[in-house]
Amino acid sequence: MNKKEVLRYLAAPSDTKVLDEAIARADTELGAVQTPRAVWRRFPIRVENNSVTLAENVIESRDLARALTGCTEVCLLALTLGPGVDRLIRKAEIAEPPLVPVLQAVAAEKVEEYADRLQETIAREIAGEGLKPRPRFSPGYGDFPLEYQKRLFPLLEIEKKIGVTLTDACLMVPLKSVTALIGLAPEEADRAPNRAGKEPE
């Protein structure tokens, strides 16, 4: 695990013995309760100036369109660390509040790393076709409204396949879950990838 990232999430510029032990414990405890699951699938897309069309859904988002410029397909990815992580954090809120920010930070890093690993798997899958993946782009980034979660969920049957549900406000439960579009562009057509912003957690 990338401990530097965890410390960054904790806004702790340097390491201490106390933090070190807490991070190790959080890592072990999360490891024991997490049930990572993922589902992904490729879709052809049409990218215009301010919109992207994906399986008959028109997504109005200039930032997304920009991030997918030059792509002919996307891989729609959904993943979760599972409900055990939510339960563990809730339990710690009662039994051991000091561990909560640490669990939170380690879980956030685990989600990122899991997503990175899946992205590598996807990259290998498509390498033979002369395609290259772009950085992940999620609903909520830039001007890509969260409301589109409602359209993305049925495309992968996300609830049924990995047990992630949406609240009325389009937030995902379990909380440690990600949906993302990964642009797939022909290798030669690809320029320097756009930097995607991160969700604030």
Partner 1 sequence: MNEIESLLGSRVLFFDGAMGTMLTERGLEPGASPETRNLERPDEILAIHRAYLAAGADLIKTNTFGANRFKFGAQAQKLVSAGVELARAAVRAEGHGLVALDIGPSGKLIAPLGDLDFEDAVAAFAECVRAGSSAGADLVLIETMADLYEAKAAVVAAKENCELPIFVSVTADQDGKLLTGGDLSAMAAVLSGLNASALGLNCGFGPEPMIELTRELRKWTDLPIFINPNAGLPTKKDHDRFRYDVDPRRFADLARFLIDAGAWIVGGCCGTTPEHIRALHETLCDLALKPIPAQKRTVVSSGTKSVSFSERPVIIGERLNPTGKPRLKRALKESDLSYLLNLGLEQQAAGADLLDVNAGLPELDEKRVIGELVCELQAITPLPLSIDTGDPQVLEATLRRYNGKALINSVSAKRASMETIFPIARKYGGVVVGLTITDEGIPETAQGRLDAARTIVETARRYGISENDLLIDPLTMAISADERAAQITLDALKLIRETLGVNCVLGVSNVSFGLPERERVTAAFFTMALERGLSAAIVNPNSRAVMSSYRAFCALKGFDPHCLSYIASAAPEENNQAPVSEPGAVSLREAVEKGLKDQAFTITKDALLRGEEPLQLIDCEIVSALNAVGERFEAKTLYLPQLLMSAEAAKAAFEAIKRSLADTSDAIKKPLPIVLATVRGDVHDIGKNIVKSLLENYGFPVFDLGRDVPPEKVLDCVQKTGATLVGLSALMTTTLPAMKETIELLHQKAPGCRIMVGGAVLTQDYADSLGADHYGKDAMSAVRYAQSLIKSGV
Which residues sit at the interface with partner 1, rule CB under 8 A?
A: 10-13, 16, 18-19, 22, 35, 37, 41-44, 55-57, 73, 82-84, 86-87, 89-91, 93-102, 104, 140, 145-146, 151, 153-155, 159-160, 162-163, 165-171, 173-175, 200-201
> Shortest approach of partner 1 to residue 93 CB, angstroms?
5
> Shortest approach of partner 1 to residue 2 CB, angstroms?
18
Name which of 33 and 49 has its Cβ closer to partner 1.
33
Name which of 1 and 55 has its Cβ closer to partner 1.
55
Dump the DSSP string for 41-72.
Answer: EEEEEEE-SSEEEETTEEEE-HHHHHHTTT-S
Name which of 26 and 65 has its Cβ closer to partner 1.
26
C-alpha dist (Å) from residue 68 to 56, 73, 83, 129? 17, 9, 32, 18
The first and second tokens of residue 169, run together, are 């406000």
> Shortest approach of partner 1 to residue 156 CB, angstroms?
8
Measure the CA–CA gap between 119 and 74, rounded to whole angstroms.
Answer: 12
Q: What is the largest CA-CA distance in the chain?
A: 54
> Shortest approach of partner 1 to residue 115 CB, angstroms?
18
The first and second tokens of residue 123, run together, are 């990259």
Measure the CA–CA gap between 144 and 89, rounded to whole angstroms.
Answer: 29
> Shortest approach of partner 1 to residue 75 CB, angstroms?
11
Name which of 41 and 62 has its Cβ closer to partner 1.
41
Name which of 84 and 186 has its Cβ closer to partner 1.
84
Measure the CA–CA gap between 196 and 145, rounded to whole angstroms.
Answer: 15
